[in-house]
C-alpha cells in the first residue's frame, strides 16, 4: 500500500501537491535519513512500552493486594506514572 503526502508550498502555503512518500524518500537523502532515524526511535519506543507495562504490573500488584509500605520517592513516582498511564 502506498502512502501519499500532501505538500503545501509557496509564500502563503496555498499551493498543494500530492506525492508518494516512497518517491520522496527515494529521491531525498534528507528525508531518507529522517525516516531511518524515525524507525530507530519507533523500535526504541516499542521496547520502552514493554518495559512500562512490566513495571506497571510489578507495582500495581501491591495496590490491588492492599499492601501498604513506606516507599522511596522513586518508587512512589513510578507508581504514580503507572496509574496515570493505565
pLDDT digits (tens, 9 = 90+) for 4-36: 989 999 999 999 999 998 898 899 999 889 888
Identify which of 66, 62, 59, 64 has the alpha carbon closest to the alpha carbon of residue 85. Answer: 59
pLDDT of amino acid 25: 87
Domain ranges of the chain: 4-85
For the chain, the 3-state helix, strand and coil shares in percent, each to the nearest 5, are 65, 15, 20
The arithmetic mean of pLDDT across residues 76-85, rounded, is 71
Q: How many C-beta atoms lie closer than 10 Å to residue 66's C-beta?
A: 6
C-alpha distances out from residue 55 to 42, 58, 69, 79, 85, Å: 20, 5, 18, 9, 11
pLDDT of amino acid 14: 92
Amino acid at each position: 500500500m502506498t502512502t501519499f503526502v500532501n505538500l503545501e508550498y509557496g509564500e502563503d502555503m496555498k499551493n498543494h501537491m500530492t506525492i508518494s512518500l516512497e518517491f520522496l524518500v527515494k529521491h531525498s537523502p534528507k528525508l531518507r535519513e529522517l525516516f531511518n532515524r524515525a524507525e530507530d526511535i519507533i523500535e526504541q519506543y516499542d521496547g520502552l512500552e514493554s518495559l512500562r507495562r512490566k513495571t506497571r504490573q510489578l507495582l500495581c500488584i501491591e495496590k490491588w493486594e492492599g499492601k501498604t509500605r513506606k516507599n522511596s520517592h522513586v518508587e512512589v513516582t513510578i507508581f504514580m506514572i503507572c496509574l496515570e498511564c493505565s
